[in-house]
Structures are given as structure tokens and as C-alpha cells.
Amino acid sequence: MSQLTPQSPVADATSAQAHALPSAPRRNPQIPTTDPEAGLKVTEIFYSLQGEALTAGLPTIFIRLTGCPLRCVYCDTEYAFVGGERMSLAGILAVCQSFPCQRICLTGGEPLAQPNAIALMQLLLANGYEISLETAGALSVKEVPVAVSKVMDLKTPSSGEADKNLWDNIDYLTPHDQIKIVIMNREDYDWAKAKIAEYELDKKVSVVWLSPMFNVAAEAEASDVAAPTLAADLAEWMLADSLPVRLQLQLHKIIWADAKGK
């Protein structure tokens, strides 16, 4: 199987396959768990602007790994649940080196569903890359290198996956890390407010982000995309409660809608 190149990112899982996934296995049994030589299953590698978190707006190389143990109701990357292309760690590094950038975001799917992601992060760090890891918070972040900025989700009740939050992960977060909570309604906001207070999340990480659910129809034109009305409500709730958090809108969706490779 050929390796990914900037001209030929792999994102072959069709929309039909993705929408059939609720009854599919939660993990691909072919994804290796221990052998670094087996590499990783990769959905796509691309170069774009970061749309979220503290590096929003900065040019970034994205490595999207295949597979995820969660099925959040608002997921906007269902095409990464299955498929992908097997690549060696050296092959992934070679593709990254073809781009004029030293900033990498490792995302998915759920990157940590493939334990070889740890070896990949170590390799990229050794080659001078600045790395952020987007993780759902359902798998342990204990082994993630300290130099990697973890952007960890906490799943709200409306996500359908709140019972998968691995609360022990909070012990491994540092001021170098960030927490993101996607908000779908007032119930989610109240849940987030309670958890922020209970775990003193704003003291554990550099930023706690509240992000209004913001999916865009695949056929939408970027010029037709507007921030959801929920964003205005969320802003008012945050102001009323003076929460120690920041509001986040997904910049890439405002610019490119839900286009793949962006």
C-alpha cells in the first residue's frame, strides 16, 4: 500500500460507511497494540490552519489517525472510524517533512486508540516538532510525552458518551495542556460548570474551552456558514456566571465548512 503524500491524503471511508457505523465494532481488531514496526493506520495527513485551541489560526500539519472507541452524537469526522492506510512511523515523518511547518496536531478518530501513537509522538519530538494531541479523554493520557500539549475533551451528557470520561486523566494534565468541552444545550453547560468547580479544572490546565456544537452540512458553501445561535446563548451564560473559561468557535468550519483535509 502506498504511503500518503501531500498530493494524495487517504480519506477513503465513504459517508455511507460512516453513517452505518453505530452497529459496527468499536475498534478495528487489525490495529496493532504493541509492535512499533507495525506502524499506524492513518486516515489523512494534510497542511492547513489550526481551527481550535491556543494555536488557532497558525499553519499546522494534521495527522489524522484511524479508529475511535467513542460514537459522540455530534462527531464531524466519522470518516476516520474505519479504513485508513497502514504507514510506518518513518513514513509518517517523511510526509511531515515535506511541508514547510514544524507544528503538528495529532488527531483522529482517537489517536490513543492506537498505542503506537506514543512512539510517533516521541519520534516527532526528537525531530524538533511542536505537537498538540487532540484526545477524547476516554483513554489514558499517562504515557503521553510531557512536551506534547494535550487538548483533552470532557464529554457532556448530550454527547452520548459522558460515561466514558476517564477522570483519572485529570491527574496527568499540566499547565501545558488544555481542556475542551463541547456544549449542545443548557444541560451541558450546567454539567460543565459543575465539573469545572468540582475538579478545579481552570487551575489544572492553561485554558478550559467551551465550544458550542457546530456541525455543517457537507454540501454547505463556506460563504453560507454562520456561527450557531447556541454560541450567543453560551456567551451570555458564561458572562452571567463569570466562568474562568474561554469560548471557542471552530475557525476551520467558518472558513471551509466541513470540508475534509481542512
Residue closest to 183 by CA, chosen among 237, 143, 139: 237
Answer yes or no: is 4 within a domain. no
Answer yes or no: is 105 within a domain. yes
| Count of alpha carbons within 13 angstroms of residue 21, beta-carbon side | 26
More confident residue, 83 or 219: 83
The domain in which residue 239 lies consists of 15-256
Answer yes or no: is 262 within a domain. no
Answer yes or no: is 167 within a domain. yes
Answer yes or no: is 83 within a domain. yes
Which pLDDT does position 19 carry in this prediction?
31
Answer yes or no: is 184 within a domain. yes
Answer yes or no: is 234 within a domain. yes
Note the pLDDT tens digit of each residue in 54-63.
999 999 999 9
Answer yes or no: is 3 within a domain. no
CB-based contacts of 257, cutoff 8 Å, min separation 6? 216, 217, 218, 220, 221, 222, 224, 225
Which pLDDT does position 10 carry in this prediction?
41
Number of domains into which the chain is organized: 1
Note the pLDDT tens digit of each residue in 93-108.
999 999 999 999 999 9
Mean pLDDT of 123-133: 98
Which pLDDT does position 213 carry in this prediction?
85
CATH of the domain at 68: 3.20.20.70
pTM recorded for the entire structure: 0.81
DSSP H/E element including 42: strand 40-49
Least confident stretch, 37-51, 85-99, 221-235: 221-235
